[in-house]
Amino acid sequence: MFSKAVLVSGLSVVSAIDNGKGLTPPMGWRSWNLFGENVNQDLIQKQMDGMTSRARTVNGVPTSLLDLGYTDVGLDDAWQLCGEYGPDKNTYHDEVGKPVVDTSVFPNFNAMTDYAHSLGLTAGWYANNCICEDHCDSDACYQEDVNALVAYGFDSVKLDGCGAQLDLQKWSDMINQTGHSILIENCHWGGTVPNATWCPWNYYRTSGDIRASYESVIANLMTTVPFAKQSLSTPGCWAYPDMLEVGCKHGPGGDNDPGLSYNEARTHFAAWAVTSSPLILSHDTTDDNVTDSIWSIISNTEVIAINQAWDGDSGSVYAESTSKVRLGDTIVSSWQQWCKQIAPNSVAVLLINNSPQLQNVPLDLSKCPTFTALGYNGYYSGRDVYNHYNLGTVPTTATYRLHGHDSAFGTFTYG
């Protein structure tokens, strides 16, 4: 087993927001997938400590998640004080449109963002909230949210799809007018997506909320395919099938969050890497047992490098079985071959066994568009990025035997 900038991609021209952010897939951590609404300032700051801890090593060197590139720590929903405000009975904006913070759980946002910055991290906020979603869609509510975003010192923002503030162009314009460069996530669950000339955010959800189950992981992964095939996932405008569930279980999804096995977790992480998805962790970074159990996955620098590489191709599925398996409500191919060009003559290839059973999974490098277009059909230099060793010279086709829900991940170079 082998273990607004204008961007030209192929024949497509994709116009991305020109804020200098998200030129590679963003990396960080966000609170919702594990903690849901059970958050407070102390918890978030302890997660910041976990992100910067060098209690573990990579290649013998003490290394933190921040060192690996996970820079942003994002607070999700449940920071607001729900109520009825003003004559319009706004649910978390006051009578002039200012967002109302629940200071019993978040007593000092500025102290929290200052703490992030002191550690070398950036801090993320959350707007258009789902808990006590607000009906206020006036310019005042938008503007006061943006004013608060800047005044509190946040560096990124997740714009959810629950409340009435759904105008992402307005959000983008108002944020950019502040003069602060702020990373913007579009969390409209695939309902608001870019086209070839419009993308006023840095990354966008292609799916509904993910859960900590293999079925949910694969269902969300598949939502990236049409955007990759249309060259609509590019620097500054990345397709995103939601946060990572590596190391998470028993989160806000209840019975729908059973957790992932080790093999399922590394398949999940590798799939997000090969599709250039933002890598947003969700596990409890202060839980040593959990972090130890997934460290080899989330600290794999070769997999991270594949995620961060850009050579005109965000990565997608290019070969799959005709036989199908049912994963919850989703029917997918029993096995898949995903390819991402990482250099003019080099691709990353992820083979996934979606079956729960051990099976043979074929590799055919001629199916990867990079090699198809250049007419390569011979022998390649291969490397197993899971196990960090060179495979030597490998042929165009081979067969690998993979356990259920496991994968093989490698890079292949011609010439």
Terminal C-alpha separation, the chain: 22
Distance CA 267, CA 356 (A): 13
Distance CA 396, CA 381 (A): 10
For the sheet containing 27-30, what is the strand order? Answer: 238-240, 203-205, 183-187, 156-160, 122-127, 72-74, 27-30, 279-281
- Three-class SS of residue 287? coil
Quote the pLDDT of residue 225: 98
pLDDT band with cut points at 50, 70 and 90 for residue 14:
low
The identity of residue 236, as a single letter, is: G
310-341 pLDDT tens trace: 999 999 999 999 999 999 999 999 999 999 99
Quote the pLDDT of residue 33: 95
119-168 pLDDT tens trace: 999 999 999 999 999 999 999 999 999 999 999 999 999 999 999 999 99
- Answer yes or no: are the C-beta atoms of 241 and 224 closer than 8 Å: yes
Distance CA 214, CA 205 (A): 19
Percent of the chain clearing pLDDT 70 (strictly above): 96
Quote the pLDDT of residue 34: 96
Q: How far is CA 22 from CA 28, 77, 181, 268, 320, in A?
A: 12, 22, 11, 21, 31
User: What is the pTM (predicted TM-score) of this model?
Assistant: 0.95
Quote the pLDDT of residue 11: 38
Q: How far is CA 383 from CA 5, 348, 387, in A?
A: 34, 9, 9
370-400 pLDDT tens trace: 998 877 778 999 999 999 999 999 999 999 9
Task: Give the strand pairing for 156-160 and 122-127.
Answer: parallel
**DSSP track, 213-254:** SHHHHHHHHHTTHHHHHTT--BTTBEEE-----TT--SSTTG
